[in-house]
Structure 1
């Protein structure tokens, strides 16, 4: 059993201000996506937002140097903790989250000269904050994948050694999540 959790930080930017109606589908999907993620195998915890009751905030929200403020002071970003690489991969690329990713071209900026996410290991007694997450994303953007900031395609184990994500296990986890959620396969 590992003494670490996998931290996952995601970052994107809207094409327009967050309050533009073009982003309505993103915002209306958010509760469903978070509910599915929180039920997923391997999910530990996630950072909340100031206007979201019932979740811890994990520090003041910060954005990476890649962020361009489009006048609303906001960008879609998340921090979550997972038991392992396979569980996080299953939750991100299958189910409700994968569906909204497929629609991302409708509301996300095409300009992506930065990594859309970063992974890193944290001790189980450590909760990363927004500043730490931003630092890791920028490290990945500046230096490429290292044991301190990596991706699913270029992953590292908690001991710092390169590792390959077990995609068969990840698919099995995704299928279990789908069956548990009792969602139609078209949503998966």
Structure 2
């Protein structure tokens, strides 16, 4: 039985673009967005993600709000996501390989340098669906107070039992290999896109 039995890992991330979403400066991000969502949907351990208000398809998990770091940016909205995963290894395998890893390489061109964490992680009961406000609260808590069982990151992870967790690197490699099989054409596509 996995360490995360009865729990799912919630993830919220937030960043700020260097220019408006529709601008040529962040075209590379825009061009990769659909492929990233599809890659996540095909990834081992993916449970689900929130959609965005006013967009068809995936339902939005509560009203979308943003952390205080958006203030003074000139933006009303910002790139952010909220998702659920089976465990931390599944999320790390998706994040640092394949389609999403390609997007991470381009992030320095599309996003401003952050003085806040890139993401926050926390455990929720199986069947629970976090809302945007939950992610924002935990994101700000991680920034203000550092990692704890209530709000942590890949660098200092906690397990569902509230104890510091060791990352299973071998398992991540196995998941990456499995994900690559189902995402080959997506990766081939994004590698042809402009940064």
Using the size of structure 2 for normalisation, the TM-score is 0.90
- Could you tell me whether the CA contact under 8 Å between 1:16 and 1:70 is conserved in 2? no
Question: Which residue does the alignment assign to 1:14?
Answer: 17
Question: Which residue does the alignment assign to 2:165?
Answer: 163
Question: Which residue does the alignment assign to 1:84?
Answer: 87
Question: Which residue does the alignment assign to 2:67?
Answer: 64
CA distance in 2, matches of 1:179, 1:19: 32
SS at match of 1:163: coil
CA distance in 1, matches of 2:152, 2:13: 12
| Structure 2, gaps ≥5 residues long | none
Question: Which residue does the alignment assign to 1:30?
Answer: 33
User: Is 1:52 matched up with 2:55?
Assistant: yes
Shift of 1:51: 3.5
Shift of 1:16: 1.6
User: Is 1:113 matched up with 2:115?
Assistant: yes
- Could you tell me whether the CA contact under 8 Å between 1:33 and 1:96 is conserved in 2? yes
CA distance in 2, matches of 1:70, 1:17: 11
| Structure 1, gaps ≥5 residues long | none
Shift of 1:21: 1.4
Q: Assess, with a 3 A threshold, how the Cα gap between structure 1 residues 121 and 24 changes in structure 2: closer, same or farther.
A: same
CA distance in 2, matches of 1:138, 1:71: 20
Shift of 1:20: 1.6
Q: Deviation above 6 Å: which 4+ runs of structure 1? A: none
- Could you tell me whether the CA contact under 8 Å between 2:28 and 2:106 is conserved in 1? no
- Name the count of aligned residue pairs: 186
Question: Which residue does the alignment assign to 2:101?
Answer: 98
Question: Which residue does the alignment assign to 2:152?
Answer: 150
